[in-house]
Each structure stands twice: as C-alpha cells, then as structure tokens.
Amino acid sequence: MKNIYSNIFSFNRKILNKTIKYLKSERVVSLPTETVYGLAGNAYSKNSIKKIFMLKKRPNYNPLIIHYYSKSQAENDVIFNKNFSKLYKKFCPGPLTFILKKKKNSKIHSIACANLKTVAIRFPKHRIVRNILKRTNFPLAMPSANLSSKLSPVKALDVYEDFKKKIPLIINGGVSKIGIESTVIDLTHTPKILRPGIIDFKKIEKILKIKLKGKKFSSKIKSPGMLKKHYSPGIPVFLNQKYHDKKSAFIYIGKKYINRKSFFSLSEKYDLKEAASKLYITLRNIKKKGYRAIQIARIPLNGPGIAINDRIKRAAK
Ligand code: AMP
Ligand code: MG
C-alpha cells in the first residue's frame, strides 16, 4: 500500500541534514515545538517568508515570530533591554515570545514583521527544533502550522490535515507538551501581555517586580495578529455553559461527568496546565466524531485558565 503520509518523518541525522538543506534552499517545512507545531522558513529570505504567508493564507498584516537558538544569535537583529534579560534568564528556552525593537541593520525580512519597527522573538525548548536552530546560520520565521484562523496543530497529523503534500517535510516530534501558543509580551514600552499563555501574569510579575498591563482581555485587537476569529474548530462553540443540551459535545474540567457520552474533561485532576494542553486535541477530536456544536463550561480565570479562556473566546466568535 502506498504510504499517504510520505512527507512525515521521524527525526534522525539524515532528516536533520535534509531539513537544513531544505531551509537553506528557501523551502518551508513543519517542525514540532513544545507549544504547537510550526511552519518554518529562513527569516532572512523574502522567498521563504512569502511562502509561509501563502501556505497559511495568512493576512500580510499579521507578523511572524522569529525563532533563535540563543540570545547571542539574536543580538544583530533586535535591541535587548533589562526586562528582556531578566525574563530570558528565567524562562528561556521556553514558551515566551518577546516583542522588541528591530535593529536598523537587522537582516530579518520586513515582510516577516509586517513592516513594523518591532520584532517578535522566541527561543523554543523542543529538542528537535533546537537541534535545527543550532545548525542554521539564520533564524526561523515560524508561525503555527495551520491555515489562518483554524486550530493550531499539536501533532504531525494535524499539520498534514491542513497542508497535505503542499510542504515537503513534516517532522514528527510527538504531541506538543504545552499544547497552546506561547505567551506574547511586548517589552518595547511598559511591559504588556499581548497573548496569554502557560507562562502567566503572576510568574512574569514576580520576575519583573512590576504590575503588568494587559490583564483585562477586551475584544479589542491589541496585536496585529490578534484576529478576533481565530483558533476555530469549524463548528459553533458556546461558552460558560451550565446545562448539556443533549446533542452537543460538552467540555469541562474535573470528573463530574466521567464516562458519560458527549462529555469531555480537559483534566480530571483539575490541573489547568493539563487542561490547556488538552484543549486543541479535544476540540479536534470532537469535530472528528461528527458533533455539530460544542458547549464549554465556565473555565476559571486564573493561571493557565486565562490562556484557555482567551483561546476559547476566539474559537467562539
Ligand atoms: P502565531 O505565529 O500564529 O503564533 O502568532 C504570532 C503572534 O505574535 C500574532 O498574534 C502576532 O500578531 C504577534 N506578533 C508578531 N510580531 C509582532 C509584533 N512585532 N508586534 C506585536 N505582535 C506581534
Ligand atoms: Mg497561529
């Protein structure tokens, strides 16, 4: 039988070399990270960046996150500051993205930053992507490997679902541990969270020793890419639900409805970090089972619960 997933590969030395060869020749590949799977291209290459936007059907005003192996790789492209150094020391590599001012002579292609004077940078932790970043002499522009406004992928097959054979190579690195996108913090002025994530307000406030802005999540778009409708599973989503309507899938946290048909718990032990990591998998799973709508119970607004609420709110738009 023909292997239909012939562009999904396990990671080994041969694939590492192939990936680097592809990236150097301005091709776009999908890589696992600890947050979600990314669609990666050379951040210094106009061709690579254009391909990423085209493949994702991403609007050109929505800038990409640029990924580096370490701080020293990034120093020619962005202007560091004290808050960055503090957070880098504590959380990097890891699921935290920094908005910093772009250096005048930075080689990052301006289309990657939607022509802004700022750049979003991240230092991912996943072993495979770090292996690759260590061996390229350019950073990787890498948004999530999904079609614009759809759910982010947390495994190689999710990527395949959206792009099929349109990308030459998808590296299978297992299920992404964190399972939701990185926290985005703007450090160009008074620090402000633009997108909540697993590294939450309290953790950042403790390191910076300040009170953070951006805690109230209004529906106003604060970051160019914070499109209102985003992370959509493709069927209607209803929030803060108390009662099951007897036909939709019902998502909740805990084990109150354990083993009951149509009920899906994000974490039986009521761990919000686990709940965040299960969110996208559960939404995809429900869609595949053929449900026509999703009800979601109230999710507490603290710690990772803030990030979960942010994503489901936009999934519900
Ligand atoms: P994604 O690549 O899909 O994880 O999304 C990246 C997020 O980072 C988007 O919401 C972007 O709007 C945001 N972002 C990237 N660059 C910038 C920037 N220079 N200023 C503000 N937000 C940014
Ligand atoms: Mg995305």
Same domain? 34 vs 115: yes
**pLDDT attached to residue 220:** 44
The type of residue at 238 is F
Identify the residue whose C-alpha is closest to ligand 1 atom 4. 143
Q: Residue for token digits 């990034």?
A: 74
Helices and strands in the chain: count of H runs, count of E runs: 9, 15
For residue 214, is it within any domain? no
Choosing from 65, 97, 100 the residue with most ligand 1 atoms within 8 A of its CB, the one to mutate for a pocket test is 65
232 in any annotated domain: no
Q: Distance from the CA of 115 to the center of ligand 1, in angstroms?
A: 12
The CATH number that applies at residue 263 is: 3.40.50
Q: How far is the CA of 167 from the centre of ligand 1 (A)?
A: 22
Q: How far is the CA of 225 from the centre of ligand 1 (A)?
A: 5
Burial degree of 112 (CB within 10 A; 0-12, 13-18, 19+) = buried
Say if residue 126 is in the same domain as residue 85: yes
* Ranges in the chain, pLDDT < 70: 1-2, 214-229
Number of domains in the chain: 2
- Is residue 266 left, alpha or beta, with left meaning phi > 0 and alpha meaning psi from -120 to 50? alpha
CA angle 19, 20, 22 (to 5 degrees): 65
Ligand 1 contact via 111 beta carbon (within 6 Å): no
For ligand 1, mutation pick of 34, 53, 55, 62 (most atoms within 8 Å of CB)? 62
Can you give the pLDDT at residue 230? Answer: 80
My answer on whether 70 and 13 are in the same domain is yes
DSSP code of residue 292? S
**160 lies in the same domain as 282:** no
Q: Say which CATH number the domain at 150 has.
A: 3.90.870.10
Nearest to residue 292, comparing CAs of 237, 250, 235?
235
Mark whether 58 and 204 lie in a shared domain: yes
Beta carbon of 196 within 6 Å of any ligand 1 atom = no
**pLDDT tens-digit readout, 97-135:** 999 999 999 999 999 999 999 999 999 999 999 999 999
Ligand showing the shortest atom-to-Cα distance for residue 188:
1
Is the CB of residue 39 below 6 angstroms from any atom belonging to ligand 1? no
Tell me: do 250 and 178 sit in the same domain.
no
pLDDT (tens digit per residue) in 33-71: 999 999 999 999 999 999 999 999 999 999 999 999 999
Q: Of the residues 167, 192, 208, which one is the last residue of a structural domain? A: 208
The minimum-distance atom of ligand 1 relative to the CA of 182 is: 4
What tokens does 192 get? 């402000």
User: Which residues span the domain enclosing 33?
Assistant: 8-208
Note the pLDDT of residue 317: 82
Q: Mapped to the 3 state alphabet, what secondary structure does 195-263 carry? A: ECCCCCHHHHHHHHCCCCECCCCCCCCCCCCCCCCCCECCCCEECCCCCCCCCCEEEECCCCCCCCCCE
Q: How far apart are the CA of 65 and the centre of ligand 1, in A? A: 6
Q: Are residues 201 and 242 in the same domain?
A: no
> Residue 291 has which token pair?
């449900």
Are 186 and 86 in a shared domain? yes
- pTM score: 0.95
Ligand 1 pocket test target in 60, 99, 118 with most atoms within 8 Å of CB: 99
> Which ligand lies nearest to the CA atom of residue 223 in the structure?
1
